[in-house]
Structure 1
Amino acid sequence: MPFKAILTDLVRSVPGASGAILADWEGEAVEQFALYDDFELKIVGAHKGIILNQVKELQGRLDDPVRDAVITTAHQHVVIGAVGNDYSLVMTLAREAISARALPPFRKAIELLMKEIY
């Protein structure tokens, strides 16, 4: 399944989702799907990918590796997750959305992306 289809299905299946982006280790967009400006999503993806990389660096102190994280701002939720060691998936949600409902389809999308990449 192509990256675009996985991201499109993810956004369309999660109530309140507005975009999803697959980014590489440098924060560069590999593929994205958004219901708003693609450029804005690319910036969110790059910044949140950097945060995920920093969390992964710190996880050496933990017994259990970090899978994903939800960042809540005044205007939205952002879900970030590792796709192997080299990529990250970032999804944006409306502030009113229930971020916990996004996690199962988000994690399924990561599984599908892993199969495509690795």
Structure 2
Amino acid sequence: MRDEEEARGTSAIRPYVITKGRSGSSRDLPWETLVLASGVTPPATLQPEYLRIVERCQGLLSVAEIAAHLGQPPPVVQVLLADLIEWGLVETRPPVPPARRADVSLLRKVLHGLESRL
């Protein structure tokens, strides 16, 4: 229940207030970029949105997932994440690349081998 109340309160705050008027991030952070808290203790004076990001990122989350948890547009989250990266409070990992297509001839050989055993 507390998270729902926080999300409603946070989403009512105008994005330009949260980002202090910045509309773009200083880093390239695609929505699928994975984010993880660095383990550095954030200062108590940190803005609530920053603290929520650090708390949520104890495991890997994508930029899009963080935006959904905060109830903010991804561009707003990208600005906040750029700050957190600069301060050493979060780290990023490149997105997991899509799986390469398997060799069709190998799949046919496996299928033929399975069919011959049946």
Where relative contact order (Cα < 8 A, 6+ residues apart) is larger, the structure is 2
Larger Rg: 1 or 2? Answer: 2
Q: Same fold (TM over 0.5)?
A: no
TM-score, normalised to structure 1, is 0.25
The structure in which a higher percent of residues are helix is: 2
